[in-house]
């Protein structure tokens, strides 16, 4: 059984077929939103930077939204494997009260990120000369900024309607804000431009930015007035960039470990099967994802998701997630086997962006 599937855009495919798979051909890394879905990538995450990317002599841009921002922060630290392990251990064993309030879930999230970053994580990320971290958040406009649930839900419904008409119309409800650990910011282009602001990550705003990127609407409190950018209420970066639909401006290729073979642009696009990412966004991307056969053999024959918190009893859920994390080591083994193969191009398929 092939545990891992490889997909590449046109430029990425041509280069890999000509040169093989080497760390030096990747100058950017992408991390998608998805909450507990990322457990299926935990084993792979532990080797991508510790045993593969660390061999690259060039600078790497690491961008993520929501859970992808958490992973990106782990990768940008001095010991990515240790950071990923802390995140996996703490996140997979989270237990809430029977009917948790927004405040309880928010507090547990803050504690999780404090543990993941550790004592020196912020200093390590901001001091790095070889890796730049970019965290995506969404500034809310109108009703989406309210912490009153009914108002916020009304704002989200309006945003969903606007998005259904055009992805560009999301700008009426949200502004994308990208916080970067370097002063140059993050360079990209997109077919349907959405208003974007850039901010600098600092010791003062780092954890606020990270928390905001994972602040799921109507589930977790938004973060107010992040230092370094205009005031506002900031929420989950996945609202705009769920799986990303942007072409990253990078000198080489983009490595994208993902839960699925086909990305979805934004959070509101999940139900819009006709809303696909633009081919140019993935021209220079190598996307790797668990195979259907691998997923079928997981407990419940599925990747973990946020519904598990309410649909599976806590101890049963923790056992399930722990098993998935353990099984994910097989993805790491498969990845390294393909990397070391004399002709890795034979394992790579053209990326299919039609959902």
Residue matched to tokens 């079928």: 296
Note whether 65 and 71 are within 8 A (CB).
no
Mean pLDDT of 133-143: 98
Q: Which of 38, 52, 18 is nearest to 303 (CA)?
A: 38
User: Considering the chain, what percentage of its residues have pLDDT values greater than 70?
Assistant: 100
**How many CB atoms sit inside 10 A of residue 346's CB?**
10
Instruction: Assess whether pLDDT exceeds 90 at residue 57.
Output: no
Taking 80 as the threshold, does the pLDDT of residue 55 lie above it? Answer: no
CB of 256 closer than 8 Å to CB of 71: no
Specify burial of residue 314 (Cβ count, 10 A radius: 0-12, 13-18, 19+).
middle
What is the average pLDDT across 25-49? 95
**Residue keyed to tokens 């045993």:** 51
Q: Exposed, middle or buried: residue 146 (CB in 10 Å: 0-12, 13-18, 19+)? A: middle
Q: What are 80-126's pLDDT values in tens digits? A: 999 999 999 999 999 999 899 999 999 999 999 999 999 999 999 99
The per-residue pLDDT for range 330-349, each reduced to its tens digit, is 999 999 999 998 888 889 99
Mean pLDDT of 249-270: 96
């Amino acid at each position: 059984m092939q545990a891992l599937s490889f997909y590449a855009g046109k430029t990425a495919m041509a280069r890999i077929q000509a040169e093989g798979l080497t760390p030096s051909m990747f100058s950017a890394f992408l991390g998608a939103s998805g909450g507990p879905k990322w457990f299926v990538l935990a084993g792979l995450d532990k080797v991508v930077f510790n045993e593969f990317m660390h061999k690259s002599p060039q600078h790497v841009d690491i961008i993520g939204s929501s859970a992808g921002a958490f992973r990106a922060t782990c990768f940008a630290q001095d010991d990515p494997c240790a950071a990923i392990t802390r995140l996996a251990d703490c996140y997979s064993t989270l237990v809430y009260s029977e009917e948790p309030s927004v405040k309880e879930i928010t507090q547990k999230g803050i504690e999780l990120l404090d543990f993941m970053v550790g004592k020196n994580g912020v200093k390590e990320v901001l001091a790095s000369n070889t890796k730049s971290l970019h965290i995506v958040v969404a500034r809310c406009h109108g009703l989406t900024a309210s912490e009153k649930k009914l108002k916020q839900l009304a704002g989200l419904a309006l945003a969903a309607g606007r998005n259904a008409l055009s992805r560009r119309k999301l700008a009426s409800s949200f502004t994308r804000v990208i916080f970067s650990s370097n002063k140059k910011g993050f360079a990209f282009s997109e077919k349907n431009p959405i208003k974007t602001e850039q901010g600098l990550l600092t010791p003062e705003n780092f954890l606020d930015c990270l928390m905001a990127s994972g602040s799921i609407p109507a589930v977790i409190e938004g973060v107010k007035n992040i230092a370094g950018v205009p005031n506002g209420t900031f929420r989950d970066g996945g609202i705009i960039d769920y799986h990303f639909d942007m072409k990253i401006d990078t000198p080489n290729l983009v490595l994208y470990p993902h839960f699925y073979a086909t990305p979805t642009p934004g959070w509101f696009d999940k139900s819009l099967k006709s809303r696909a990412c633009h081919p140019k966004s993935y021209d220079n991307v190598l996307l790797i994802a668990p195979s259907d056969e691998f997923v079928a053999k997981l407990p419940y024959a599925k990747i973990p998701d946020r519904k598990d918190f309410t649909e599976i009893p806590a101890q049963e859920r923790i056992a399930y997630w722990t098993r998935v994390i353990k099984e994910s080591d097989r993805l790491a083994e498969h990845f390294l086997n393909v990397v070391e193969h004399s002709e890795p191009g034979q394992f790579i398929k053209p990326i299919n962006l039609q959902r």
